[in-house]
Amino acid sequence: MKYSALRGMKDILPDEINIWQHIEEKAREIFEIFNFREIRTPILEQAELFLRSIGEDTDIVEKEMYVFNDKKGRKVALRPEGTASVVRAYIQNSLFNAPSPQKFYYIGPMFRYERPQKGRFRQFHQIGVESFGVSSPEVEAELLLLLKKFFESLKIVELSFEINSIGCKICRPLYKEGLYKFLGERVSNLCFDCQRRFKKNPLRVIDCKVPSCREILSDIPLMIDFLCENCRKHFSDFQKKLELYEIPYKVNPKIVRGLDYYTGTVFEVTTHALGAQNAVAAGGRYDELVELFGGPSTPAAGFAIGIERLVELLDKKLVLQLQKPLIFLAHAGEALEREVLNLSSRLRDNSFIVERAYENLSLKAQLKRADRLKAKWVIIVGEEEIKKSLYKWKKMSDGTQGEATLDEIISIMKEQE
């Protein structure tokens, strides 16, 4: 084979696509009843948009972005996530003039040049939401409620909702000072990555997975113990709302997130079923980003779900059952083309999926083809059948068959769907 898809990128084939469509349909259905409206932004953006929002010293910007110069020498990037683009669109289109909250969702591909492994791709897909204009913790609580409802609709259970607060521009600098001092005394014993992070982004040292670092850092100071009065109250009110909404959660003071724009609340939805890449969704509040991009000061929060990881978690059998059955119209040659067309239209008008032989094949060959296509039903259209307006039908799975008018056949098939 001469060509193959790039490493970390994959085809989603028709046999799998109805699982994706099912996930996307559920997302649209549920997000829209919470008044989130769809937004579609370009896949290619100015690279600087991500540099400034996600942060120059983060793994995503430092190592993982697909960046290149366009024909005019402008530095552009394939979007590694959706939040920065939605914030840009919100400001560029003056959406802040509409009444708050403004709530958006998006579904689409993202690109990160990561080392591919199970659950981690270079082109992956997210379903994300962003909510602008309201600073109270009801917003984050609603986001978790939305996630819970969405996962329930897909029958995905056993998820863990983990929350934390990473403070604001008032309390975080103080905390960082303490953290810096603590790490400074231990840095020479930490792993190479942590030594690098210590200089550039010390918060990321907290979630290092290397066992020796974990041991050295077991009593690392945590942001949650340094929150200012406002952040503490917000975080505690948030938890009260979660209790009110009956969303089980766990405070995990070690969640720091790999993107710099967060302020205050952050959260992750994780599961043991996914192995090392255990986060199926993640998000938080980012109250300073709109202003950083030149818009009016606007509180905001959101999350994104990784679709590939969701597909892994889904009971595929359950979804495949939702697939509409295929009906194969077996016919006796070209002379009956008009009748085949009529019957196909009537069946399609009733939302059945119809297939036929396009060339002249014997009845036996057509039945064989119906079998190979996994048709659930075969309807036979021959001269005799047309004259009597009675068609032979056969249910392929158990061989039951009969003769009936098309309306009767439609009712039989609908009953057994």
CA pair distance 382, 148, nearest whole angstrom: 53
Cα distance between the two ends of the chain:
41
Q: Which is nearer to ligand HAM, 279 or 386 (CB)?
A: 279
Instruction: Tell me: does residue 332 bind ligand HAM (CB under 6 A).
Output: no
Which residue from 22, 256, 270 is spatially nearest to 155, judged by alpha carbons? Answer: 22
Instruction: Tell me: does residue 299 bind ligand HAM (CB under 6 A).
Output: no
- Supply the DSSP string of 132-176, one letter for each residue: ES--STHHHHHHHHHHHHHHHHTT----EEEEEE---TTHHHHHH
Half-sphere exposure of 66 (CA within 13 A, CB side): 16
Q: Which is nearer to ligand HAM, 301 or 332 (CB)?
A: 301
Residue 344 DSSP class: H
Interaction pattern, residues 78-97, with ligand HAM; x per rule: CB under 6 A: ---xxx--------------
**Binding residue (CB under 6 A) for ligand HAM from 304, 354, 367, 409:** 304
Instruction: Tell me: does residue 281 bind ligand HAM (CB under 6 A).
Output: yes
Instruction: Tell me: does residue 104 bind ligand HAM (CB under 6 A).
Output: no
Type of residue found at 346? R
Nearest approach, Cβ of residue 148 and ligand HAM (Å): 16
- 232 burial via Cβ count (<10 Å: 0-12, 13-18, 19+): middle
CA pair distance 296, 178, nearest whole angstrom: 32
83 forms beta bridges with none
Q: Do residues 60 and 50 make contact, with C-beta atoms less than 8 angstroms apart? A: yes
**Binding residue (CB under 6 A) for ligand HAM from 44, 279, 363, 410:** 279
Nearest approach, Cβ of residue 111 and ligand HAM (Å): 9
Instruction: Tell me: does residue 112 bind ligand HAM (CB under 6 A).
Output: yes
Q: Do residues 41 and 78 make contact, with C-beta atoms less than 8 angstroms apart? A: no
Instruction: Tell me: does residue 120 bind ligand HAM (CB under 6 A).
Output: yes
**Binding residue (CB under 6 A) for ligand HAM from 114, 193, 237, 312:** 114
Rounded to 5°, the CA angle 32-131-300 comes to 175
Nearest approach, Cβ of residue 392 and ligand HAM (Å): 50
Instruction: Tell me: does residue 293 bind ligand HAM (CB under 6 A).
Output: no
Instruction: Tell me: does residue 133 bind ligand HAM (CB under 6 A).
Output: no
Instruction: Tell me: does residue 210 bind ligand HAM (CB under 6 A).
Output: no
Q: Which is nearer to ligand HAM, 85 or 344 (CB)?
A: 85
Interaction pattern, residues 245-274, with ligand HAM; x per rule: CB under 6 A: -------------x----------------
354 forms beta bridges with 327
Instruction: Kindly indicate which of the ranges 71-79, 214-222, 300-308, 345-353 contains the residues binding ligand HAM, using the contact rule CB under 6 A.
Output: 300-308
Tell me the CA distances in angstroms from 24 to 30, 102, 121, 280, 348, one per residue in order: 10, 21, 19, 15, 24
Instruction: Tell me: does residue 159 bind ligand HAM (CB under 6 A).
Output: no
Instruction: Tell me: does residue 302 bind ligand HAM (CB under 6 A).
Output: yes
Instruction: Tell me: does residue 124 bind ligand HAM (CB under 6 A).
Output: yes
Which residue from 323, 379, 369, 371 is spatially nearest to 347, judged by alpha carbons? Answer: 379
Instruction: Kindly indicate which of the ranges 237-245, 296-304, 320-328, 388-396 contains the residues binding ligand HAM, using the contact rule CB under 6 A.
Output: 296-304
Nearest approach, Cβ of residue 185 and ligand HAM (Å): 31
Nearest approach, Cβ of residue 288 and ligand HAM (Å): 13
Instruction: Tell me: does residue 283 bind ligand HAM (CB under 6 A).
Output: yes
Q: Which is nearer to ligand HAM, 308 or 385 (CB)?
A: 308
CA pair distance 346, 76, nearest whole angstrom: 50
- Supply the DSSP string of 41-110, one letter for each residue: --SEEEHHHHHHHH-TTSHIIIII--EEE-TTS-EEEE-S-SHHHHHHHHHHTTGGGSPSPEEEEEEEEE
Residues that bind ligand HAM (CB under 6 A): 81-83, 112, 114, 119-121, 124, 126, 128, 130, 258, 279-284, 302-304, 306, 308-309
